[in-house]
Chain A
Amino acid sequence: MNQYVCRFCRQPSDPNSPTCPLCGAPVDIRDVVSDSGWIEQPPIRDMARIQFGQSHCQIEGTTVPVADFSLAPQDMIYFSHHVLLWTDPGTRLANMSMRGGWKRMKAGMPLIMMEAHGPGHMALSDNHAGEVIALPLQHGQQMWVREHGFLCATGNIRYDWDQTHVWYVTGTGDDKETHYPMGQYGDIFTATDRPGLLLLHSPGNTFIRDLRPGESLLIQPSSLLYRDVSVSVHLHLEYPRNMGFAFWHPRWSYRNIWVRLTGPGRVAVQSVYERPENTDTIQNSSYATHHRW
């Protein structure tokens, strides 16, 4: 028997439901695929429900969507306290202990995660126009997420974080500065003993792509939203041909900073990102490929 698999969360799903009960993606629409192979992630429909454990989450709104949780007594989610919008007084909130507080603070990551325990209702929202992305994770499945992309996860999903190993240094002496174009650290989520749900907030629109083994592409570093851990990442420095144009300051260089993603695996990018602005000559970097036109 052929089993219906959701095109977006890649989990066995119900084709008779208007939206995937696991990730909220509409079932009754055709794929929107660009000529270059990017699949547009359809926004979760207003008031769509996503089931996890005995609880569910309802997505409200489409500009800055709210994730409204109805938590069963045995269920728990965790999140950064910045994203809490409202809660019933009966929902129990608690601090979640985190390792590496000093490093997290230096990297601009939230120091404290909060837990919400059922039974009760509570809701989360980020403060950028964009989309909520639901990623159901099967037992043992791992997902890498760019820092600040995380909205919340169910209690059985383990949360780790590690260095991105993508950096470059500009300047010398007192002007020396290390840049992390896709953040200093990335979040890694692993479903441990059973399936779980991971919610992300993606500013702008979201596009996903499946890379074949060895297939690679270049993207703006801060546009990467999530990737399978099988996808490798490194810096790529591209220097366009100068055509005789000269900067008045000898330290400035004319270049593009990319990250190269190499398959196999799934990657997702968001259409709102920060463009690297520094133009100083790169003195040193993490492993990088180069191209001079």
Chain B
Amino acid sequence: MTCGAPLDVKDKVSDSGWREAPRLRDMTEFRFSGSTCQVEGELVPVAEISLSPQDAVYFEHHVLLWKDESSPLSSLKTQGGMKRSLGGMPHIITVASGPGRVAFSRDAPGELVVLPLHPGMELDVREHAFLLASHSIEYSFVRIKGLANVLHGGSGMFMDRFVTAQYPGLLLLHGNGNVLERTLRPGEKILVEPGGFLYKDSTVQMQAVQMPLRTGLMRHSMYLAEMTGPGRVGIQSMYVHHHASE
């Protein structure tokens, strides 16, 4: 399984240690299991999946761009339906099975992040960032306690959790704007605007910390997400701002 990243370009790493996600070239094609994925476009990229008969992918239903008529759709049973609805997460996850072609895109300029997951990996992804995952990846969600104050709805922040057991799988995310990744050493910390958080290894601890600052007319507290290594952290450069409304 590959991720479609161009092999003839150098890693782009900033002085502060952030590595840019490789921008997938238009019409790049890569394989997973018996299926293929082709990435089309660069401003708001489309992931076009050609599913083999034994494969399936799951996704939030509103990211579906087009499909072959013959490709069957079903729903994935998820736990905590009410909590998911209250948290603003999709109540139903849809499954597209092969054989057939299905295409997906989100509705903002950005990048596709292709994350091949090997057996035994766990990855946490911010809500509404995942585009699709192959059926061999287990899906659940976790609530990040303490971030309730960051989001004015007070419902806290949910993350999608993707786990591979004994089989590898493919996970595709859509990052708004540009996507940057950094690998934190054990105990290393970084403070991230919660809206900019995109994904992390489950080994990275995430908690809300109050900054000694006040914002807005009502002098709201300012919170950032403190990430503590070891593990990878991915951020996006275009985000919904979660601080005080002014």
Q: Would you list which residues of chain A between 71 and 128 have a CB under 8 Å from chain B?
A: 81-82, 84-89, 93-95, 101, 105, 108, 110-112, 114, 121, 123, 125-128
Known: A111-B216, A112-B215. A47 touches B238 (CB 8 A): no
A172 on the interface (CB 8 Å rule)?
no
Knowing A81-B243, A127-B238, the reply to whether A88 touches B178 (Cβ < 8 A) is no
A128→B238 contact, CB < 8 A: yes
C-alpha gap A86/B196 in the complex (Å): 8
| Bound Cα distance from A142 to B246, whole angstroms | 28
The CA-CA distance from A64 to B217 in the complex, in Å, is 28
CB distance from A100 to the nearest CB of B (A): 12
The listed residue (A68, A86, A129) touching B238 by CB distance below 8 A is A129
Is the beta-carbon distance between B214 and A95 smaller than 8 angstroms? yes
Contacts of A101 in B (CB 8 A): 217
Most buried by B among A61, A68, A70, A95: A61
**Across-interface contacts of A105 in B (CB, < 8 A):** 217, 246
Within the assembled complex, what's the spacing in Å between the Cα atoms of A65 and B237?
7
A62: CB under 8 A from chain B? yes
The answer to whether residues A64 and B216 also contact, given A81-B243, A86-B192, A87-B191 and a CB cut-off of 8 A, is no
Q: Is there an interface contact between B213 and A95, defined as CB atoms closer than 8 Å? A: yes
With beta carbons under 8 angstroms apart, the residue of B14, B18, B180, B217 that contacts A111 is B217
In the complex, whether A280 has a CB less than 8 A from a CB of chain B is no
Which residues of chain B are near A70, meaning CB under 8 Å? 15-16
**Size of the chain B interface, CB-CB below 8 angstroms:** 39
Please state if B222 and A81 are interface contacts (CB–CB under 8 Å): yes
- Asked if A60 is at the interface of the complex by the 8 Å CB criterion, the answer is yes
A86 near B177: Cβ-Cβ < 8 Å: no
Residues A121 and B16 in contact, CB atoms below 8 Å apart: yes
From 215 to 230 in chain B, residues with beta carbon under 8 angstroms from any chain A beta carbon are: 215-217, 222, 224, 226
Q: Contacts A61-B20, A82-B243, A105-B246 known; A112 to B178 CB distance under 8 Å?
A: no
A282 within 8 A of partner (CB):
no
Question: Does A58 make an interface contact (CB < 8 A)?
Answer: yes
Complex interface: chain A residues within 8 A of B193 (CB):
84-86
A66: interface (CB < 8 Å): yes
Q: Are A58 and B235 in contact (CB under 8 A)?
A: no
Q: Say yes or no: B20 contacts A123, CB within 8 Å.
A: no
- Kindly identify, within residues 123 to 137 of chain B, every residue whose CB is under 8 Å from any CB belonging to chain A: none
Q: Is the CB of B20 within 8 A of A46?
A: yes
Q: Does the CB pair B216–A46 fall under 8 Å?
A: no
Would you call B241 an interface residue if the criterion is a C-beta within 8 Å of the partner chain's C-beta atoms? yes
Residues of chain B contacted by A54 (CB below 8 angstroms): none
Beta-carbon nearest neighbor of A89 in chain B: B189
A234 vs chain B, min Cβ distance (A): 30
> Is A63 part of the contact surface with B, judged by Cβ < 8 Å?
yes
Q: Which residues of B contact A94 (CB under 8 A)?
A: 213
Chain A residues within an 8 Å CB radius of B215: 81, 111-112
Please tell me which one of the listed residues B20, B190, B216 contacts residue A112 in the complex, with CB atoms under 8 A apart.
Answer: B216
Q: What are 15 A-B residue pairs whose CB atoms fall within 8 Å in the complex?
A: A49-B15, A60-B12, A63-B43, A63-B111, A66-B237, A68-B18, A81-B243, A85-B237, A85-B239, A89-B191, A89-B226, A105-B246, A111-B217, A112-B216, A129-B43
Extra contacts, 12 of them, besides A93-B211, A123-B18, A125-B238 (Cβ < 8 A), are A46-B20, A47-B14, A61-B177, A63-B237, A64-B110, A65-B178, A66-B237, A68-B14, A70-B16, A111-B217, A127-B177, A129-B177
